[in-house]
């Protein structure tokens, strides 16, 4: 009898222990949900304060709240403050809106979404950071376009003239660059972001606006990105002093060193190198420069060889007005000897950010697994 009593007591204690464990688990879940609910409420208070501070009107606030409630209700602060969260919700919103709204209605919403993005600071993309959607393009971005199925493929040059939250607009550079397309037809694009990489994508032509002729396309939220460089490139943020020089066309800088060619200095100015390779560079300068000029850079190689500095002559191949009075110049180095190009390549390699010991150990383990 005593044995039976002990067994029942043991079962009772075990059952009580399990019951307490379950109750504590449920209480923990309840507290976690309550804390999460309070966090979301606090985030919404902060979001409304931000929207008021950014001076969004009632329609814009209502549209943003609808976008958040539908597609990321647990993360209102993230959508309002992080560009990628905002674009992810925008993608879902626009994809669903295309099914029900007319072009005019969607374009009106796109204008409001653009204003929302600008006021929240989502239109700013740091140099060197990749993009994920056409909504992240900037005005005057050069692109090449070709109708899908065209044989042979003829790429026509154009530039982006407007981007809102629903569409982006592209204008051909010349009359010869106009597209022989119909509404609803797919058009292929390729473009080069000097501070980033090359991109390709295809999208649908929605409208052709006349006088001047402008093509209106749907946004794409998945871009094919790839590198295609002859030299390794590194991102920099290096302020320098550059000379703008003029070299007569009779000299072939592919055959002789630029240092052996007479040149005339037109003026000197402050600049900033934003990326660099052994083949060329991208430079920011706060003034408009003639394409016929060469940009001369005196760069310290930071090695033990003499001379300490080498002179680089950059031929301008493209310029983009990125803001009022500020231009980005992309170019290739010309008249550079093999020895100096080798020194420059090593200098570029040394500018890479150091790899952490943890990452190096992980790479070593991955290589051992492959073996």
Residue 30 inside a domain? The answer is: no
What pLDDT is attached to residue 369? 57
- Could you tell me the pLDDT band of residue 16, with boundaries at 50, 70 and 90? confident
Task: Give 105-123 pLDDT, tens digit per residue.
Answer: 999 999 999 999 999 988 8
The kind and range of the H/E element at 78 are helix 76-81
**Domain final position from 172, 202, 226:** 226
Q: Work out the percent of the chain whose per-residue pLDDT is above 70.
A: 87
* 345 within some domain: yes
| Together in a domain, 106 and 81 | yes
- For residue 367, is pLDDT > 80? no
Tell me, what's the pLDDT at 60? 92
End position of a domain, from candidates 194, 226, 258:
226
Residues 242 and 342 occupy one common structural domain: yes
Q: What is the pLDDT of residue 76?
A: 92
Same domain (yes/no): 208, 159 = yes
For residues 200 and 280, membership in a common domain is answered with no
Q: What mean pLDDT do residues 344-365 have?
A: 67
327 DSSP β-pair partners: 285, 321
What is the average pLDDT score of the chain?
Answer: 85
Q: Do 170 and 200 lie in a common domain?
A: yes
Q: What is the pLDDT of residue 20?
A: 82
Residue matched to tokens 């390794």? 232
98 band by pLDDT with thresholds 50, 70 and 90 = very high
Looking at the fold, whether 153 and 113 belong to one and the same domain comes out as: no
Considering the domain architecture, whether residues 282 and 249 belong to the same structural domain is answered as: yes
Q: In this predicted model, what pLDDT tens digit does every residue of 227-249 receive, in sequence order?
A: 555 566 778 888 999 999 888 76
- Same domain assignment for residues 89 and 148: no
243 and 312 within one domain = yes
344 lies in the same domain as 237: yes
- Counting the structural domains of the chain, the total is 3
Q: Can you tell me the mean pLDDT for 326-355?
A: 82
Q: What is the largest CA-CA distance in the chain?
A: 116
**pLDDT value of position 359:** 47
pLDDT at 285: 92
Q: Which of 61, 96, 120 is the last residue of a domain?
A: 120
pLDDT in tens, 288-328: 888 888 999 999 888 878 888 888 999 888 888 887 778 89
Residue linked to tokens 């000379």:
243
Mean pLDDT: which of 45-49, 151-155, 254-258 is highest?
A: 45-49
- Angle between the 2-53 and 58-71 helix axes, to the nearest 10 degrees? 150
| Structural domain range at position 278 | 233-350
User: How confident is the model over 198-221, as pLDDT tens digits?
Assistant: 889 999 999 999 888 999 999 999
Tell whether 5 is covered by a domain: no
User: Does residue 250 sit within a domain?
Assistant: yes
For residue 158, being part of any structural domain is answered with yes
Question: Position of tokens 């300490």?
Answer: 308
Q: In this predicted structure, what is the pLDDT of residue 194?
A: 65
What token pair was written down for 310? 């080498």
Q: Verify cis geometry, omega within 30 degrees of 0, for the bond prior to 307.
A: yes
């Amino acid at each position: 009898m005593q044995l039976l009593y002990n067994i029942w007591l043991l079962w009772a204690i075990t059952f009580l222990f399990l019951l307490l464990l379950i109750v504590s688990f449920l209480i923990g879940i309840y507290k976690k949900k309550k804390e999460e609910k309070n966090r979301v409420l606090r985030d919404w208070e902060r979001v409304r304060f931000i929207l008021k501070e950014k001076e969004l009107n009632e329609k814009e606030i209502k549209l943003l709240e609808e976008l958040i409630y539908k597609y990321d209700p647990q993360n209102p602060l993230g959508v309002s403050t992080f560009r990628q969260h905002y674009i992810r919700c925008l993608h879902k919103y626009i994809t669903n809106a295309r099914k029900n709204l007319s072009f005019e209605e969607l374009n009106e919403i796109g204008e409001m979404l653009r204003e929302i993005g600008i006021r929240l600071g989502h239109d700013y993309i740091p140099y060197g950071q990749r993009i994920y959607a056409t909504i992240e393009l900037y005005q005057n971005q050069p692109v090449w376009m070709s109708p899908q199925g065209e044989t042979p493929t003829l790429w026509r040059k154009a530039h982006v003239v407007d981007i809102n939250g629903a569409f982006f607009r592209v204008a051909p550079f010349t009359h010869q660059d106009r597209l022989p397309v119909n509404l609803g037809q797919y058009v292929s694009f390729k473009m080069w972001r000097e501070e980033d990489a090359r991109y390709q994508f295809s999208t649908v032509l929605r409208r052709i606006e006349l006088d001047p002729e402008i093509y209106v396309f749907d946004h794409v939220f998945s871009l094919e990105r790839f590198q295609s460089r002859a030299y390794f490139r590194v991102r920099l943020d290096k302020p320098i002093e550059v000379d703008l020089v003029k070299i007569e066309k009779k000299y072939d800088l592919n055959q002789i060193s630029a240092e052996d060619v007479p040149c005339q200095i037109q003026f000197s100015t402050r600049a900033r190198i934003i990326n660099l390779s052994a083949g060329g560079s991208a430079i920011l300068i706060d003034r408009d420069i003639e394409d016929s000029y060469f940009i001369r850079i005196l760069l310290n190689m930071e090695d033990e060889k003499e001379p300490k500095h080498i002179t680089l002559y950059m031929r301008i191949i493209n310029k983009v007005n990125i803001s009022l009075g500020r231009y980005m110049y992309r170019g290739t180095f010309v008249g550079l000897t093999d020895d100096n190009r080798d020194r420059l390549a090593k200098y570029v390699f040394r500018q890479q950010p150091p790899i952490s010991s943890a990452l190096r150990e992980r790479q070593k383990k991955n290589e051992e697994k492959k073996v």
